């Protein structure tokens, strides 16, 4: 990139990445009146269902944020599983029952596509006066004791942004984390691979998460509430 840096801004927090983590942080800051800039490399909202299980404690966070009704309207709680053996015999597996835990606000996990959760968070951010800057990629940063100077690329031009704080919410391959020198604890198991996709399926009930066994293994088809597709998962 050989264009000269063009824009300068001063703000409290620069957030890199507008997935669920960056959007939640942006909402939490915006509701407290903290100035922020939320940048996202991709040009627009991502469509994949990805993490479709929302845990009960996450629903409590969404409740506090004022979006739990919106999120739940696009999901289903305590979805049963239906297992079908290679010979066609079926078994219903109920792992969660609504009302089991009257002592907690939300007693079961919610199935909903991750893009729906992001949609609800983006809408809340808009209500709070914030926005996602799509098509804006973080490049690098320098920091002093007081602030951070970051370069971002937007519409092919480099912008220099000054912020009190820089927060990397840019996912598992985070550039912010790498440039900060923070390691990623864990390991990659190369022998384990999974195929995941959102697919249209004819003739399958949408009232349960289907586990279908065949002679070489098992695959799953989970109906995604608020859509007409299933999430397919296979080892």
Ligand X SMILES: Cc1cc2nc3c(=O)[nH]c(=O)nc-3n(C[C@H](O)[C@H](O)[C@H](O)COP(=O)(O)OP(=O)(O)OC[C@H]3O[C@@H](n4cnc5c(N)ncnc54)[C@H](O)[C@@H]3O)c2cc1C
Q: What residues make contact with ligand X under the rule CB under 6 A?
A: 16-22, 39-42, 50-53, 114, 137-138, 169-171, 175, 196
**Nearer residue to ligand X within complex by CB, 128 or 222:** 222
Least Å from the CB of residue 215 to ligand X: 25
Q: How remote is the C-alpha of 12 from its chain's centroid?
A: 24
Least Å from the CB of residue 196 to ligand X: 4
**Nearer residue to ligand X within complex by CB, 63 or 198:** 198
Least Å from the CB of residue 179 to ligand X: 10
Q: Which residue is nearest to ligand X (CB)?
A: 19
Least Å from the CB of residue 98 to ligand X: 20
**Nearer residue to ligand X within complex by CB, 68 or 222:** 222
Angstrom distance (rounded) from CA 88 to CA 212: 9
Q: Which residue in the block uniquely carries the two structure tokens 């997935």?
A: 19
Helix, strand, coil percentages in the chain from 3-state DSSP, rounded to 5: 20, 35, 45
**Nearer residue to ligand X within complex by CB, 27 or 175:** 175
Least Å from the CB of residue 87 to ligand X: 29
State the alpha helices, DSSP H only, in 31-158. 56-65, 68-73, 114-127
**Nearer residue to ligand X within complex by CB, 90 or 226:** 226
**Nearer residue to ligand X within complex by CB, 53 or 180:** 53
Q: Are 90 and 83 in contact (CB under 8 A)?
A: yes
Burial environment of residue 44 by CB neighbours within 10 A (0 to 12, 13 to 18, 19 or more): exposed
What is the separation, in whole angstroms, between the first and last Cα of the chain?
Answer: 41
SS3 119: helix
Least Å from the CB of residue 89 to ligand X: 27
Q: Whose CA is closest to 78, among 205, 197, 201, 209?
A: 209
């Amino acid at each position: 990139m050989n264009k000269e840096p063009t824009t300068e801004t001063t703000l409290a927090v620069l957030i890199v990445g507008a997935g669920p983590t960056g959007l939640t942080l942006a909402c939490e800051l915006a509701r407290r009146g903290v100035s922020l800039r939320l940048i996202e490399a991709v040009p627009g909202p991502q469509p994949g269902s990805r993490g479709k299980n929302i845990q009960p404690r996450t629903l409590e966070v969404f409740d506090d944020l004022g979006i739990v009704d919106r999120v739940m309207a696009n999901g289903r709680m305590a979805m049963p599983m239906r297992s079908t053996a290679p010979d066609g015999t079926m078994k219903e597996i109920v792992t969660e029952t609504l009302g089991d835990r009257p002592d907690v606000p939300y007693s079961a996990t919610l199935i909903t596509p991750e893009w729906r959760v992001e949609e609800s968070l983006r809408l809340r951010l808009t209500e709070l006066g914030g926005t996602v800057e799509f098509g804006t990629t973080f490049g690098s940063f320098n920091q002093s004791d007081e602030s951070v100077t970051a370069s971002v690329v937007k519409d092919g031009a480099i912008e220099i942004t000054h912020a009190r704080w820089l927060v990397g919410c840019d996912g598992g391959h985070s550039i912010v984390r790498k440039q900060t020198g923070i390691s990623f604890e864990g390991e990659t198991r190369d022998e384990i691979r999974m195929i995941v996709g959102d697919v249209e399926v004819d003739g399958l009930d949408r009232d349960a998460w289907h586990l279908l066994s065949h002679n070489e293994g098992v695959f799953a088809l989970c109906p995604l509430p608020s859509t007409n597709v299933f999430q397919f998962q296979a080892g």
